[in-house]
Amino acid sequence: MTSYSYKDINPLWSLVDPLTVDQAAALIAGFDPYSIDKSGDFFQDGETGLTDSDGIAWVWTAHAALANAINARKLKATVRRSAWERGWDEEPADDERLTNQVTIRPEDEAEAWNVEPHRLRVRGIVYRVHPDWGLTTVAVDDVRAWLMSRGFREGFFFPDATDAPDYLNPSDPRYAPKLAAAVSAWQANPNPKGRSVKDALKKYVREHAAEFRLTDEEGKPNETGIEEVAKVANWQDKGGAPRT
């Protein structure tokens, strides 16, 4: 089994869906959720008990971004709040509220038929006004879509991400094959070898036609598309073979 630092993300987190907001924040920041102390103020090694705070601010920032997006309804979430059953002499704190309507639990209904007259026992439930981010959950696909909308495409939620710019990334929703082909051909700077730059560019694009979706149904290069790409990438638009 591969050895990991206690702050490294366990690969099994890719199986967890949905995630709590606390967990998602840690993963966005690049840390294993279980490496963070319950207080959220620092990291703690569960085996050695050692603590450190190097990088914890990244988690806080990711958490703030998620919470604000959920509150602004820009990120879908199943919002949950912590609650407790009210006792006879217990009142809600400043940040708590008492419910007016309570969903009766099955055991309450069963208990009601054991008394005369038959009645359901009313329960007072006190809940916290603010969401509990350790209980509130978000779907992985929703988090990924939200991150992409913010221009963020790296880390745990993008395992197949590359270092290539968006316009060269085939998985980007705005990927344009001809644009990618023109940029790649220009960057390749193919050696003309006595031919015109345009012809050299066409040769390069033709050799990479399948990569840039410039082939027909039979797999043959699309010469019209190749010509268009070469025109865009050509930096010697006066024509003719390069001077020696």
Three-state secondary structure of 57-94: HHHHHHHHHHHHHHHCCCCCCECCCCEEECCCCCCCCC
- From 149, 182, 206, the end of a domain falls on 149
* Claim to verify: residue 39 and residue 110 sit in the same structural domain: no
Phi-psi region of 189 (alpha: psi -120 to 50; beta: other; left: phi over 0): left
* Claim to verify: residue 191 and residue 118 sit in the same structural domain: no
* Claim to verify: residue 62 and residue 106 sit in the same structural domain: no
Q: Is 55 helix (H, G, I), strand (E, B) or coil?
A: coil
- 35 inside domain: yes
* Claim to verify: residue 73 and residue 17 sit in the same structural domain: yes
CA nearest to 226, candidates 240, 218, 237, 216: 216
- Give the domain range for residue 116: 83-128
Q: Among residues of the chain, what percentage have pLDDT more than 70?
A: 76
CA nearest to 37, candidates 24, 19, 22: 22
* Claim to verify: residue 206 and residue 115 sit in the same structural domain: no
* Claim to verify: residue 110 and residue 205 sit in the same structural domain: no
- Tell me the pLDDT tens digit for each residue of 115-154: 555 455 555 666 677 899 999 999 999 999 999 889 888 8
Q: In the 8-state DSSP scheme, what is residue 215?
A: B
Pairing status of strand 137-138 against strand 125-128 = unpaired
What pLDDT does 81 receive?
84
Q: Using 50, 70 and 90 to split pLDDT, how confident is the model at 84?
A: low
What pLDDT does 162 receive?
63
- 159 inside domain: no
- From 114, 149, 184, the end of a domain falls on 149
* Claim to verify: residue 171 and residue 220 sit in the same structural domain: yes
Per-chain mean pLDDT for the chain: 83
Tokens representing 238 are: 């006066």
- Tell me the pLDDT tens digit for each residue of 9-66: 999 999 999 999 999 999 999 999 999 999 999 999 988 999 999 999 999 999 999 9
* Claim to verify: residue 58 and residue 141 sit in the same structural domain: yes
CA nearest to 142, candidates 82, 207, 75: 75
- 189 inside domain: yes
- 174 inside domain: yes
Predicted TM-score of the model (pTM): 0.59
At 136, phi and psi to the nearest 5?
-65, 135
pLDDT higher than threshold 60 for residue 243: no
Q: Using 50, 70 and 90 to split pLDDT, how confident is the model at 180?
A: very high
* Claim to verify: residue 45 and residue 115 sit in the same structural domain: no
Domain count, the chain: 3
| Other beta carbons within 10 Å of 243 | 5
Distances (CA, A) of 203 to 139, 207, 222: 46, 6, 12
- 241 inside domain: no
* Claim to verify: residue 139 and residue 110 sit in the same structural domain: no
